Structure 1
Amino acid sequence: MPHAYAPDGTALHYELRGSGEPLVLLSGQSNSRHWWDPVVEDFAAAFTVVTLDWRGTGDSDRPDSDSYSTRGFADDVAAVLDDAGIGRAHVYGTSMGGRVAQWFAAEFPERVGRLVLGCTSPGAPHGVERGPEVRRALAQGDPEAVRRALLELMYTPAWIAAQEEGGRREFGTLGDPSMPAHARRRHLRASARHDAWDALVRIKAPTLVVHGSDDTFNPTANAPLLAERLPDARMRLVPGARHAYFEEFAEVATPLVLGFLRDGEA
């Protein structure tokens, strides 16, 4: 299993699959590379896909230190690309991964071809925060109730029911179950402290902003904020989709993103 090493020595696990131009897929908060499992092969059919485990997740190191931040995660992405011998890549980040992608595109403009920002935001100071009802649902004392609330923020009830009727119990977007508590806390803090508003205007890469129209976990209103702030961006909403639009609505979202990455159409 290949590992890159961040400037502070943290080992970062990553995987390569497919062939063609490089494409980095960046997952959400407290999640490993498995966030992308339902769709990664579709992207690998067209690109050399790089997926990685954030520090604190998967097969990467899990330091209990102040090294967790969205800007720092962007440096981790650069270390992975260096180790893989990739100078320039397209970047597709969702949720916290979209926040990291903002920093990566701003700090390493020469390394980004096209950029896709999915179900993400510019950060609390200028973004739209989730409502109090969502916060209450995620702050319940019953772990199973929290899991259910998170599941319903990710997917529509009908889709959840169909999956569960088919025997599915595990969902790769609900967090890496192997994460230690300190890493979960630090991921949460890193995402909550994100603020790339001033950096967004420095992003030169052509950008596609994608969001589910019914996302309340990371409110849909963040999509036009990003699209209007970025110098070269277009926005597309996926009708009826919640936070995990890229999985439940893959038949819509994946061709949309592939079209943009291949030839700039969306």
Structure 2
Amino acid sequence: MREFTTSDGARISYRVEGNQDGPALLLLQGQANSQRWWDGVRTEFESRFRTITFDYRGTGATSAPEADWTTRSFAADAAAVVREAGYSQAHVYGTSMGGRIAQWLAIDHPELVVRLVLGCTTPGGAHAVERDQQVRRSLMTPDPAERRRVLFELMYTDAWTGAPEQSTVLGDPSMTPGATRLHLRVSSRHDAWDHLPEITAPTLILHGDDDRFAPVVNADLLEQRIPGATKHVLTGARHAYFDEFREESAALVLKFLDAG
């Protein structure tokens, strides 16, 4: 684990692993999760890429005062991490809220992003299609165990043999209640719609067709909005397609990145 201090005093914790001679691949996780989100997946990329992950403000080992964070400010942190790791460019793969952060990274730092992969994410704002009211109500339960069960079912299909306690994508247990609320606001306030046509990086959009957490129609919206974007929908997959359908989705990402 490595650390560096940002210009505003945050201590950002990050990891750089994999092929030392390979190109950089920045992996951006979902809302209220540390970089452990990628623990079960990054090995799929490390023989060919130098993978970079980091803990967002409010998560993991990163230390930062609670503030009015946004997906755009998190994208600025992401750019700083890539440069701190010693790279001027990187491929970027963001899932869920990480895909929203990745949008701003490609918009605000086009010189940094070589190729862009957006997974199980949305453009945000008034044009995004949000989860239905039943899902919203289920996630608002005050019982932590019940909420974890609901979240697990939204992430994985019934065919998934893993258990909730084995998953690294159900939230960072070290987060404070305040940081958790701020992350919810970060994600819910995201709106890159007007700027998506500015993305110049070749873009792949991945989504599961059984994703009720971020409905798959958002993949269509992103494809239509980002110039030259291509889309692949995984049959039967839910929000954590990248974990449950690891081999299939990683193969798609690798094929796309290798084309650059």
Normalised by the size of structure 1, how large is the TM-score?
0.95
Partner of 1:81: 82
Aligned partners of 1:127 and 1:257: how far apart in 2?
24
Partner of 2:33: 31
What is the Cα deviation at residue 152 of structure 1?
0.2
Pairwise CA RMSD = 1.1
Fraction of identical pairs, as percent: 53
What is the Cα deviation at residue 78 of structure 1?
1.1
* 1:163 partnered with 2:162: yes
Q: Secondary structure at the match of 2:57?
A: coil
* 1:131 partnered with 2:132: yes
Partner of 2:118: 117
Cα deviations across residues 67-91 of structure 1 (Å, max 9, x unaligned)?
Answer: x110000000111112111100000
Asked whether the equivalents of residues 94 and 102 of structure 2 are also in contact (C-alpha less than 8 Å), the reply is yes
Asked whether the equivalents of residues 15 and 52 of structure 1 are also in contact (C-alpha less than 8 Å), the reply is yes
Among 41, 44, 48, which residue is 2:43 paired with? 41
Aligned partners of 1:258 and 1:90: how far apart in 2?
11
| Structure 2 spans left out of the alignment, 5+ residues | none
Partner of 1:222: 218
What is the Cα deviation at residue 11 of structure 1?
0.9
Aligned partners of 1:121 and 1:213: how far apart in 2?
14
Q: Secondary structure at the match of 1:109?
A: coil
Q: Secondary structure at the match of 1:56?
A: coil
Asked whether the equivalents of residues 6 and 75 of structure 1 are also in contact (C-alpha less than 8 Å), the reply is no
| Residue type at the aligned position of 1:189 | R
Cα deviations across residues 18-53 of structure 1 (Å, max 9, x unaligned)?
Answer: 120000000000001110111111111110100111
Q: What is the number of residues matched between the two proteins?
A: 258
* 1:94 partnered with 2:102: no
What is the Cα deviation at residue 199 of structure 1?
1.2
Partner of 1:11: 11
What is the Cα deviation at residue 242 of structure 1?
0.1
Aligned partners of 2:54 and 2:182: how far apart in 1?
18
| Structure 1 spans left out of the alignment, 5+ residues | none
Partner of 2:237: 241
Asked whether the equivalents of residues 5 and 79 of structure 1 are also in contact (C-alpha less than 8 Å), the reply is no
What is the Cα deviation at residue 7 of structure 1?
2.7
| Residue type at the aligned position of 2:258 | R
